[in-house]
């Protein structure tokens, strides 16, 4: 039997109303049980891609794709209302900006159980019991006090943990976690990621983990997608990416992973240059200005390749 495809996205493009391209023809596939890491520096289009899956793209943006199916539902034909219900029932979302996602004037306990009560037949008592368990599981000791709080009374790290607990309330069939642990110290970070991994192991819940941190992704994910300037530069298994990176950008990212042996105060290798606006490559490679392997052809053309075991990359060179 073919593996169950949880996400089947072909050629997704996201644009502003004025026609500026922000995400440029990306394809993403995710299978049941898999943890997929999406990496790339700030502005590369990770959050916008995640938000399209959540049906939460800002009003001033629009998307199109050749195929866009989530958990078997076709977003190209599904109405807004049905997409919203699918997301509410079956997808757990940990947003990047946890502050604006929670309603400031509603107590945590009411927010945490809201979606659960809407989409399950269980009662308030059961919902609160589940909320307590999950809040504990994300490392919060004083659960009662937390549940009674308002979001504005909590630190960024606490809010982030509330969001993670909330994302797990409905036993989601897909988890989309956008930089879920950035505001957390390293112990809690591991605890939270281990929790996501446990959920993934127990229920085969697929996870999309968006992160700047290739080190974390290496540890928690089976496959990696490397984004740059709204495009996918490389997509492969973790093993392939680390043992045989094909794209110069991926190579540069691997170099900047903080090494465990690095001495305190020592400067990390950095990738020189800045991220370009999407679409400025003029048919050539979006990374060319920063690439130390740049050739003449990279100015005006780019080759996409898929080599052994579905290892995709977008580069004129063959390493």
Ligand X SMILES: Nc1ncnc2c1ncn2[C@@H]1O[C@H](COP(=O)(O)OP(=O)(O)OP(=O)(O)O)[C@@H](O)[C@H]1O
Q: How far is the CB of 85 from Mg ion (least distance, A)?
A: 25
3-state helix, strand, coil in the chain (%, to 5): 40, 25, 40
Q: Could you tell me how many residues of this chain bind ligand X (CB under 6 A)?
A: 15
Strands (E), 185-279: 207-211, 223-228, 231-237
User: Does 273 help bind ligand X (rule: CB under 6 A)?
Assistant: no
Going by their DSSP bridges, the two strands 91-94 and 231-237 should be labelled as: unpaired
Q: Which range, of 36-44, 68-76, 135-143, 157-165, touches ligand X by CB under 6 A?
A: 36-44
Q: Which residue in 6, 38, 47, 284 binds Mg ion (CB under 5 A)? A: 47
Q: Which helix (H) or strand (E) holds 100?
A: helix 98-101
Q: How far apart are CA 36 and CA 52, in angstroms?
A: 16
Cβ distance to ligand X smaller for residue 42 or 187:
42
Q: How many CB atoms are closer than 10 A to CB 124?
A: 12
Q: How far apart are CA 244 and CA 95, in angstroms?
A: 32
Q: Which range, of 25-33, 91-99, 139-147, 261-269, touches Mg ion by CB under 5 A?
A: 91-99
Q: Which residue in 3, 11, 16, 124 binds ligand X (CB under 6 A)? A: 16
Cβ distance to ligand X smaller for residue 27 or 153:
27
User: Does 17 help bind ligand X (rule: CB under 6 A)?
Assistant: no
**Which phi and psi angles does 233 have, rounded to 5°?**
-90, -35
Rule CB under 6 A: which of 40-69 touch ligand X?
A: 40, 42-48, 58, 60-61
As separate numbers, helices (DSSP H) first and strands (DSSP E) second, the chain gives: 11, 13
Site string for ligand X, 200-229 (x = CB under 6 A): ------------x-----------------
Q: Which residue in 6, 12, 22, 193 binds ligand X (CB under 6 A)? A: 22
Cβ distance to ligand X smaller for residue 11 or 244:
11
Strands (E), the chain: 5-16, 21-31, 35-39, 61-64, 67-70, 73-74, 91-94, 174-178, 207-211, 223-228, 231-237, 304-307, 311-314
Q: Which range, of 6-14, 62-70, 92-100, 108-116, touches Mg ion by CB under 5 A?
A: 92-100
User: Does 96 help bind ligand X (rule: CB under 6 A)?
Assistant: yes
Residues 13, 31: contact at Cβ < 8 Å? no
Residues 64, 21: contact at Cβ < 8 Å? no
HSE at residue 200, side-chain half, CA atoms within 13 A, is 22
Q: How far is the CB of 43 from ligand X (least distance, A)?
A: 4
Q: How far is the CB of 226 from Mg ion (least distance, A)?
A: 15
User: Does 160 help bind ligand X (rule: CB under 6 A)?
Assistant: no
Q: Is 47 in a helix, a strand, or coil?
A: helix
Q: Which residue in 49, 52, 96, 181 binds Mg ion (CB under 5 A)? A: 96
Q: How far is the CB of 22 from ligand X (least distance, A)?
A: 4
Q: Which range, of 37-45, 73-81, 83-91, 108-116, touches ligand X by CB under 6 A?
A: 37-45
In the structure encoding, which two tokens stand for residue 142, read together? 């004083």
User: Does 15 help bind ligand X (rule: CB under 6 A)?
Assistant: no
Cβ distance to ligand X smaller for residue 140 or 225:
225
Which residues would be at the binding site for Mg ion (CB under 5 A)?
A: 46-47, 96
Interface with ligand X (CB under 6 A): 16, 22, 40, 42-48, 58, 60-61, 96, 212
């Amino acid at each position: 039997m073919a593996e169950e495809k949880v996400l089947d996205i072909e050629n997704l493009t996201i644009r502003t109303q004025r026609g500026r391209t922000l995400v440029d023809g990306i394809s993403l596939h995710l299978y049941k049980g898999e943890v997929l890491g999406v990496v790339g520096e700030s502005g590369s289009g990770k959050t916008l891609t995640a938000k399209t899956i959540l049906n939460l793209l800002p009003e001033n943006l629009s998307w199109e794709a050749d195929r866009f199916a989530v958990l078997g539902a076709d977003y190209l034909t599904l109405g807004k209302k049905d997409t919203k219900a699918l997301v509410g029932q079956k997808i757990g979302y940990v947003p990047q900006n946890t502050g604006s996602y929670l309603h400031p004037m509603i107590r945590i306990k009411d927010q945490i159980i809201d979606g659960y009560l809407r989409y399950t037949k269980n009662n308030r008592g059961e919902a609160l019991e589940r909320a307590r368990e999950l809040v504990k599981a994300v490392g919060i000791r004083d659960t009662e006090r937390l549940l009674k709080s308002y979001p504005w009374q909590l630190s960024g790290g606490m809010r982030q943990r509330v969001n993670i607990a909330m994302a797990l309330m409905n036993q989601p069939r897909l988890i989309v976690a956008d930089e879920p642990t950035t505001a957390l110290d390293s112990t809690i970070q591991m605890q939270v990621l281990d929790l996501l991994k446990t959920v993934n192991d127990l229920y085969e819940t697929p996870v999309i983990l968006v992160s700047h941190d290739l080190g974390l992704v290496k540890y928690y994910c089976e496959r990696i997608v490397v984004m740059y300037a709204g495009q996918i530069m490389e997509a492969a298994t973790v093993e392939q990416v680390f043992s045989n990176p094909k794209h110069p950008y991926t190579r540069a990212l691997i170099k900047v992973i903080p090494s465990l042996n690095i001495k305190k105060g020592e400067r990390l290798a950095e990738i020189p240059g800045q991220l370009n606006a999407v679409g400025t490559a003029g048919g050539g490679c979006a990374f060319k200005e920063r690439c130390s392997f740049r050739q003449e052809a990279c100015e005006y053309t780019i080759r996409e390749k898929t080599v052994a075991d579905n290892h995709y990359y977008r580069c004129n060179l063959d390493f």
